[in-house]
Amino acid sequence: MFEKLDAMLKRFNELTELISDPETVAKRELWQSLVKERAALEEVAEKYSEYLKAEAEAKECREMANAGGEMAELAEAELAELKKKSAGYVEELKILLIPRDPMDDKNVIIEIRGGAGGEEASLFAGDLKRMYHRFAERMRWKVEEINLNETELGGVKEAVFVLNGKGAYSKMKYESGVHRVQRVPETESQGRVHTSTCTVAVLPEAEEVVVDFNEKDFKIDTYRSGGAGGQHVNKTESAVRITHIPTGIVVECQDERSQIKNREKAWKVMNSRLYDHFRTQKDKEYAANRKTQVGTGDRSERIRTYNFPQGRVTDHRIGLTLYNLNEFMDGDMFQMIEALQLYDRNLKLGDIEGK
């Protein structure tokens, strides 16, 4: 670890000199790339410099303590403080050295679908949609609707929306998987607890085309929007459906009255789904990397249970149970997300130490 830190500090110092060189400044693109590289190293370099300073001071105190005399006792006390400080720096540096997911700062596309359980699953899908919307409000993120397919009783067969905000993917990426609910449905006359499921997919919004594809691989259809909308719904084919023929991926968008806007939104989702599809294939090729992730991200993996009779929510990946289900469903997901992030970080720290 320290060899890597030495190399990073050396490179940081080199970059500091280079970006001050008039010849480099004159080459605008080169200068910008070097500034960006230096900024990426700055936090680690500064923290490592603080560690080295503490270690140098500790060496002096150690020599004074070994020499004896009047200052030996003071040197021993200061040495103990410096050792504690150095240990803290080491832990911070370990965290800073964890490979960062390049998608963490991206917006996210959330897809929710009712699973097993019929109408109750659809109703719970609607509850999950509201939960994520409320969390987005707490985070001051913007919600952009893409597609909503509702049932007659007010449930949700499918909901697709974008959460726009810095770091959205870093917090929401742990939500992919099967969410199970245990509660007494409103339609249940005997008071029996039913179990239903919903699937949630979380995709980082891909800003650029991330895979090479041929226009002939796509089929684009337009149709009349469903749901509320009056005469416009009945007369205008504003809804858009895009199918990627090789993978069978289908994206629909009918949120906007304009076909052009629906088409733009649909392409945004299609691009992210294709990115996710090919990234998942790559992850399977390097299955060992799964050890450094919370779960597999597989949409068939049961990740969480919401038990309404007992007022609890349990995440099965980390074994955490919270007894604040009502608040959780109202978007207060912070404790759960922080626990998942901490668990993920500890897994990655274990891999770093084992190398």
pLDDT tens digits, residue range 24-35? 889 989 999 999
pLDDT the model gives residue 16: 92
Written in H, E and C, the secondary structure of 17-46 is: HHCCCHHHHHCHHHHHHHHHHHHHHHHHHH
CA distances from 330 to 8, 134, 195, 261 (A): 44, 6, 21, 31
Q: Which of the four pLDDT bands, split at 50, 70 and 90, describes residue 212?
A: low
87-123: pLDDT as tens digits = 888 888 887 777 777 788 888 999 999 988 888 999 9
pLDDT category of residue 324 using cuts at 50, 70 and 90: very high
> Average pLDDT of the chain?
82
pLDDT at 73: 79
CATH code for the domain defined by 108-286+296-346: 3.30.70.1660
- As a whole number of angstroms, the distance between CA 317 and CA 25 comes to 50
Within 10 angstroms of residue 54's Cβ, the number of other Cβ atoms is 19
Give percent of the chain with pLDDT exceeding 70. 85
Residue range(s) occupied by CATH 3.30.70.1660 in the chain: 108-286+296-346
Report which of 154, 144, 127, 151 is spatially closest to residue 329, judged by C-alpha positions.
127
- Asked whether the CA dihedral 329, 334, 340, 343 is positive or negative, the reply is negative
Please state the rounded mean pLDDT for residues 56-61. Answer: 87
For the chain, percent of residues with pLDDT exceeding 90: 33
Which residue in 221, 194, 217 sits closest to 307, CA to CA? 194
What is the end-to-end Cα distance of the chain in Å, rounded? 9
For 303-330, b/e burial (b = at least 16 CB within 10 A) is: bbbbbbeeebbbbbbbeeebeebeebbe
Give the pairing type, strands 177-183 and 302-307: parallel
